[in-house]
């Protein structure tokens, strides 16, 4: 719930409040594509910083804060010239990074080489502390480092805080203690903070970032333009400028409330902007108390009204109270206070739901039975139909014509062995939740989870005339939804996985099966269920994602694009069946080249089944040259090679 609430924080920035006017004293110097085009591949030689700093000094720039540091020696002469330029300018703040991984209470410190650090006016840290969802909503204003060699503790302001100090003409001596944990003082200015523990036991003050807008909000100058003297002095005079990477290739992009790809330097600028304008976002004791009041009182009011009045009165009242809370939270947000939306909404919704449950508890017994059996694994539409016509489903057992889907994660054992259990469970739950939604949205019955596998079917408990089509479309939708999850996981730094799907249709036994009085579940059993499961495993042999039997293929062959793969006999079956790879729906645009390759593959199958193995191999090799990843082609090429050397019997 906290993560959902955090997302409402982002939503309110983008939709409710929008961008606001930035402080004109702040600007960005971008290490952008233009600069890379003129100065070459990053990192650049430190020679380029000499004219850059000299031009800023000449223009009368108040401060330049580097969101980049120089921890290694490049060249003695070049580094000396750079250090001289830094000292000559008298306006440079260099970056440092604190690493909490080794020892959270005594973090490692990475700074620029001593020659540069001694020449610089200030040093500030550039650490970020993103939330669990990867979004940067807070800034560590002050971070401490204990030097074991000297026995001294050093406190580093954040780059944004240092930028504000430079603009106001203040120093670290103007920072007051923050013993109460609710604020720190910069001169006469009170900055609201919370005490947080980024790691270990050392508390550090963090400030909510009140973003002024999306990337590009601040006036931005190209590094190469300043280094070449192409920017008029009046545009730079008296300003506080943050230097950092904006080019995508330098990989300093951060996720913010406005945009998932924001240059990190703009976060520092936003922090400085908040302090300079006194435009803070607060979430302290007052806001927490307001949260509690909004959770308790509206929920009790909705409970009282819903208990006394019919839904025609109670429901609009609950909606009105809910909207009132949301409007109030958004007004307070625009005023600089983060008031929770999710918890009051949940409390109001739960209150109304509780009273609704009490009012309708004595509803029809058969309807309650149907809902309790089916509501967790079929769509609401199917449940409603069952409630209206309970005789349509024989809970005791019945023959049903169904289509089944079995899915399984590829290489899941090795995938899970390489990761922490918490990560495995989180990723698996996200995947299973997404696939469950796809199945239920397609009016399917989610039968069970088989570890990392899923079993679902169409045609039971209610008959569905188009169950073949629904199953095939669901399989394609599962692959599409997984693709979206894979993109999300990659963006979060989580390794994605893929799945295989088996499809079959036919008669099964459907009913409530289990130990009476202990554990019962509505499910389907029979040979056709087993065949669907085995087809999922067989898909691995041909390297395909979705493998369907001829019994699923025949009724829908005019609605989907298939490729016939083989004529096989699976374990436990005496009669061979044809199997097909499911490629896409025909109501979507079809690549003509793909259709051509399928037709050519069918020609190869004709040669193969006519025992013309050399001709077949030629066709399959031609196709493999077009798609090196098609494992089915390699399977047939290997078979042809074997049968050319060892011809099979004529039968």
String of DSSP letters for 338-386:
---SHHHHHHHHHHHHHHHHHHTTT--HHHHHHHHHHTTTS-HHHHHHH
Q: Is the pTM of this model over 0.75?
A: no
Domain end point (choices 277, 297, 329): 277
**What is the 8-class DSSP label of residue 103?**
-
Contact 65, 241 (CB under 8 A): yes
Mean pLDDT of 187-215: 78
CA distance 428 to 448: 14
| In-domain check, residue 554 | yes
> pLDDT digit string (tens) for 458-490?
998 888 899 999 999 999 999 999 999 999 999
Query: Poorest-confidence range of 154-163, 171-180, 376-385, 603-612?
Result: 376-385
Q: How would you write 589-627 as a 3-class SS string?
A: CCCHHHHHHHHHHHHHHHHHHCCCHHHHHHHHHHHHHHC
What is the reported pLDDT for 362? 47
Query: Are 555 and 608 members of one domain?
Result: no
What is the reported pLDDT for 103? 55
Query: Are 198 and 161 members of one domain?
Result: yes
Tell me which residue of 465, 454, 541, 467 sits closest to 504, measured CA to CA: 467
Query: Poorest-confidence range of 296-305, 310-319, 385-394?
Result: 385-394
Tell me which residue of 489, 593, 486, 614 sits closest to 545, measured CA to CA: 486
Domain end point (choices 338, 362, 386): 362
Question: Bridge partners of 221?
Answer: 29
What is the reported pLDDT for 421? 86
What is the reported pLDDT for 238? 94
Neighbours of 372 (CB within 10 A): 9
Query: Poorest-confidence range of 346-355, 385-394, 404-413, 506-515?
Result: 385-394
- Between the ranges 278-287, 512-521, 563-572, 603-612, where is the mean pLDDT highest? 603-612
CA distance 95 to 66: 6
Mean pLDDT of 385-410: 74
Kind and range of the H or E element at 494?
A: none
**What is the 8-class DSSP label of residue 392?**
G
Tell me which residue of 503, 479, 499 sits closest to 584, measured CA to CA: 479
Query: Are 474 and 418 members of one domain?
Result: yes
What is the reported pLDDT for 375? 54
**For the chain, percent of residues with pLDDT exceeding 70:** 88
| In-domain check, residue 407 | yes
What is the reported pLDDT for 378? 53
CA distance 99 to 392: 64
| In-domain check, residue 212 | yes
Query: Are 454 and 382 members of one domain?
Result: yes
**For the chain, percent of residues with pLDDT exceeding 90:** 51
Query: Are 305 and 411 members of one domain?
Result: no
What is the reported pLDDT for 363? 46
Mean pLDDT of 354-366: 65
Query: Are 424 and 353 members of one domain?
Result: no
C-alpha dihedral (363, 367, 373, 375), degrees to nearest 10: -80
Query: Are 650 and 531 members of one domain?
Result: no
Residue 302's alpha-carbon distances to 289, 318, 321, in angstroms, are 20, 6, 8
**3-state SS class at 70:** coil
pLDDT at 301 over 80: yes
| In-domain check, residue 16 | no
With left for phi above 0 and alpha for psi between -120 and 50, is residue 526 left, alpha or beta? left
| In-domain check, residue 448 | yes
Q: Is 234 exposed, middle or buried (0-12, 13-18, 19+ CB in 10 A)?
A: exposed
**Domain of 507: which CATH number?**
3.30.70.1230
Domain end point (choices 538, 571, 589): 589
Q: In the chain, what are the helix, strand and coil shares in percent, each to the nearest 5?
A: 45, 20, 30
Mean pLDDT of 246-253: 78
| In-domain check, residue 13 | no
- For residues 442 and 377, the model is more confident at 442
Tell me which residue of 254, 341, 379, 299 sits closest to 11, measured CA to CA: 341
Query: Are 308 and 438 members of one domain?
Result: no
CA distance 25 to 614: 77
CA distance 226 to 241: 12
Residue 336 belongs to domain spanning: 285-362
Query: Are 305 and 427 members of one domain?
Result: no
Local confidence band at 177 (pLDDT 50, 70, 90 cut-offs):
low
First to last CA, the chain: 65
Contact 184, 193 (CB under 8 A): yes
**What is the 8-class DSSP label of residue 646?**
S
What is the reported pLDDT for 182? 77
Kind and range of the H or E element at 30?
A: strand 26-31
Q: Strands 63-66, 240-245: parallel, antiparallel or unpaired by DSSP?
A: parallel
Tell me which residue of 107, 108, 326 sits closest to 197, measured CA to CA: 107
CA distance 383 to 576: 38
Contact 166, 63 (CB under 8 A): yes
Q: Is 413 exposed, middle or buried (0-12, 13-18, 19+ CB in 10 A)?
A: exposed
What is the reported pLDDT for 381? 57
- Alpha carbons within 13 angstroms on the beta-carbon side of residue 352 total 20
Which residues are CB-contacts of 521 (< 8 A; sequence separation ≥ 6)?
A: 448, 512, 513, 514
> pLDDT digit string (tens) for 112-128?
999 999 999 999 999 88
Query: Are 193 and 172 members of one domain?
Result: yes
| In-domain check, residue 159 | yes
pLDDT at 374 over 90: no
Query: Are 151 and 210 members of one domain?
Result: yes
**Domain of 609: which CATH number?**
1.25.40
Q: What is the mean pLDDT of the chain?
A: 87
Burial per residue of 545-582, b for 16 or more beta-carbon CB atoms within 10 angstroms, e otherwise: bbbbbbbbbebbeeebbbbbbbebebeeeeeebebbbb
Which residues are CB-contacts of 150 (< 8 A; sequence separation ≥ 6)?
A: none
**In total, how many domains does the chain have?**
4
CA distance 198 to 103: 12
| In-domain check, residue 510 | yes
Cα 365 vs. chain centroid, distance in angstroms? 43
Query: Are 220 and 118 members of one domain?
Result: yes
Handedness of CA 644, 645, 650, 651 (dihedral sign): negative
Local confidence band at 132 (pLDDT 50, 70, 90 cut-offs):
confident
Cis peptide before 366 (omega within 30 of 0): no
Which residues are CB-contacts of 285 (< 8 A; sequence separation ≥ 6)?
A: 182
Tell me which residue of 365, 395, 633 sits closest to 511, measured CA to CA: 395
pLDDT at 23 over 80: yes
Cis peptide before 287 (omega within 30 of 0): no
> pLDDT digit string (tens) for 494-516?
889 999 999 999 999 987 777 66
CA distance 482 to 351: 35
């Amino acid at each position: 719930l906290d993560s959902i609430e955090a997302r409402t924080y982002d939503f309110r920035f983008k939709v409710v409040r929008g961008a606001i006017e930035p402080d004109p004293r702040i600007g960005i110097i971008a290490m952008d594509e233009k600069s890379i085009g003129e100065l070459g591949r990053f990192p650049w030689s430190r020679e380029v910083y000499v004219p850059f700093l000299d031009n800023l000094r000449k223009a009368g720039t108040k401060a330049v804060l580097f969101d980049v540091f120089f921890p290694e020696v490049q060249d003695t002469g070049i580094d000396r010239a750079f250090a001289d330029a830094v000292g000559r300018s008298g306006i440079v703040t260099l970056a440092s990074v604190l690493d909490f991984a080794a020892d959270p209470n005594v973090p490692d410190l990475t700074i620029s080489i001593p020659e540069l650090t001694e020449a610089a006016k200030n040093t500030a840290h550039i650490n970020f502390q993103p939330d669990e969802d990867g979004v940067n909503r807070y800034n560590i204003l002050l971070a401490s480092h204990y030097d074991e060699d000297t026995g001294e503790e050093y406190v580093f302001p954040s780059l944004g805080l240092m930028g504000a100090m430079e603009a106001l003409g203040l120093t670290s001596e103007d920072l007051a203690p923050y013993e109460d944990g609710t604020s720190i003082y910069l001169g006469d200015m009170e900055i609201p903070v919370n005490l947080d523990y980024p790691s270990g036991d050392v508390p550090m003050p963090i400030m909510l970032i009140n973003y002024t807008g999306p990337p590009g909000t601040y006036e931005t100058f190209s590094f190469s333009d300043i280094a070449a003297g192409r920017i008029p002095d009046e545009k730079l005079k008296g300003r506080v400028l943050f230097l950092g990477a904006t080019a995508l290739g330098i990989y300093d992009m951060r996720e913010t409330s406005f945009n998932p790809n924001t240059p990190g330097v703009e976060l520092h600028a936003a922090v400085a902007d908040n302090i300079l304008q006194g435009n803070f976002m607060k979430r302290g004791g007052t806001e927490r108390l307001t949260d509690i009041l909004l959770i308790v009182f509206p929920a009790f009011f909705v409970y009282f009204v819903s208990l006394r009045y019919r839904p025609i009165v109670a429901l609009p009242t609950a909606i009105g109270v809910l909207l009132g809370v949301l409007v109030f939270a958004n007004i307070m947000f625009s005023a600089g206070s983060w008031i929770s939306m999710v918890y009051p909404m949940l409390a109001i919704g739960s209150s109304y739901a509780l009273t609704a449950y009490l009012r309708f508890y004595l509803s029809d017994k058969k309807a309650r039975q149907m809902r309790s059996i089916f509501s967790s694994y079929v769509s609401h539409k199917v449940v409603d139909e069952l409630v209206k016509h309970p005789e349509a489903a024989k809970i005791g057992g019945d023959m049903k014509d169904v289509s089944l889907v079995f899915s399984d994660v590829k290489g899941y054992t090795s995938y899970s062995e390489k990761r922490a259990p918490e990560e495995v469970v989180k990723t698996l739950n996200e995947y299973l939740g997404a696939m469950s939604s796809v199945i239920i949205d397609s009016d399917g019955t989610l039968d069970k989870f088989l570890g990392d596998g899923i079993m679902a079917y169409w045609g039971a408990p209610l008959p569905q005339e188009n169950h073949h089509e629904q199953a095939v479309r669901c399989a394609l939708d599962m692959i599409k939804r997984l693709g979206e999850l894979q993109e999300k996981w990659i963006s979060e730094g989580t390794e994605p996985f893929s799945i295989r799907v088996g499809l079959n249709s036919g008669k099964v036994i459907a009913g409530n099966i289990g130990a009476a009085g202990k554990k019962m579940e509505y499910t389907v059993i029979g040979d056709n269920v087993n065949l669907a499961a085995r087809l999922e495993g067989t898909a691995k042999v041909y390297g395909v994602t979705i493998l369907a039997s001829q019994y699923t293929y025949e009724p829908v062959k005019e609605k989907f694009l298939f490729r016939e793969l083989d004529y096989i006999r699976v374990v436990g079956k005496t009669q061979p069946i044809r199997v097909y790879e499911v490629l896409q729906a025909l109501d979507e645009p079809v690549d003509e080249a793909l259709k051509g390759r399928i037709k050519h593959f069918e020609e190869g199958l004709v040669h193969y089944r006519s025992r013309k193995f050399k001709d077949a191999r030629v066709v399959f090799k031609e196709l493999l040259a077009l798609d090196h990843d098609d494992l089915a082609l390699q399977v047939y090429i290997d078979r042809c090679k074997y049968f050319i050397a060892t011809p099979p019997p004529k039968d």
